[in-house]
Amino acid sequence: MNNLRCLVIDDEPLAIDIIENYLDRLGNVEATRCENAIEALKLMRTASFDIIFLDIEMPLLTGLDFLNSLANPPAIIITTAYR
């Protein structure tokens, strides 16, 4: 069985750690992390992902602006620390 390729994009390293911890429990998941959407855009030029965990509020480029810039986005799960 192939691994599920996940990209976790969040400007808060602790939030990425928490999501990666949950993904590790699933097994057969390969997680890649980016701490901002600009970094993620560069990475996506050379890599493909099955699913993206995307923070809405980030500096430089918001999660929604990032999402709108993708021509054929994979499955997206929106994340936020907002209460």
User: 29-83, what's its fold?
Assistant: Rossmann fold (3.40.50)
Which pLDDT belongs to residue 56? 94
pTM of the model: 0.92
Q: Map residue 4 onto helix, strand or coil.
A: strand
Which pLDDT belongs to residue 51? 98
Which pLDDT belongs to residue 2? 84
Give the residue carrying structure tokens 């810039």.
69
Among the listed residues 29, 22, 21, 24, the one whose alpha carbon sits nearest the alpha carbon of residue 3: 29
Q: Map residue 76 onto helix, strand or coil.
A: strand
Among the listed residues 18, 7, 2, 3, the one whose alpha carbon sits nearest the alpha carbon of residue 66: 7
Which pLDDT belongs to residue 82? 67
> pLDDT for 25-80, tens place per residue?
999 999 999 999 999 999 999 999 999 999 999 999 999 999 999 999 999 999 98
From CA 17, how far away is CA 46, in angstroms rounded? 24
